[in-house]
Structure 1
Amino acid sequence: MFEKHLQCPYCRQAITILLDTGVEGFTNVVDDCEVCCRPIDIDYCVEEGEVTAFSYNAIEGNEF
């Protein structure tokens, strides 16, 4: 597991998510913000146990 820090696209609070680095290749997950509980679409790629690409977006409206 890899701990990733980001800013919630809705409430703008700093949050932490865990990425599974045990699965090679591209992964898409939806995780809720630990502050406002709104869904965040997360894409990342793992190569040789390392996260090589990462992006995230709001799913719902009202993002900043």
Structure 2
Amino acid sequence: MLLKSSFSCPYCWLEILMLVDTSIKKQSYIEDCEVCCNPIEIIVQFNNS
């Protein structure tokens, strides 16, 4: 299942929308901001609850 999520870029403060795959319990990757192009480390973890 995909979950819509949003967060603010720590560099330019733009709100970034993304889809996260909830079937992968632990995720970690680097995503560039769409506006300022700075790298952002994304870490997502889902619990079974």
Q: Calculate the TM-score normalised by the size of structure 1.
A: 0.60
Instruction: Extract unaligned runs of 5+ from structure 1.
Output: 51-64
Structure 2: distance between partners of 1:19 and 1:30? 14
- 1:30 aligns to what SS in structure 2? strand
- 1:47 aligns to what SS in structure 2? coil
1:32-43 aligned at under 5 Å gives the runs 32-43=32-43
Instruction: Extract unaligned runs of 5+ from structure 2.
Output: none
Runs of at least 4 residues off by over 4 Å: none
Q: How many residue pairs are counted as aligned between the two chains?
A: 48
Taking only aligned residues, the RMSD between alpha carbons, in angstroms, comes to: 1.8
- Percent of aligned pairs with the same amino acid: 35
Q: Which residue of 2 aligns with 1:9?
A: 10
Report the Cα offset of residue 18 of structure 1: 1.9
Paired amino acid for 2:17: T
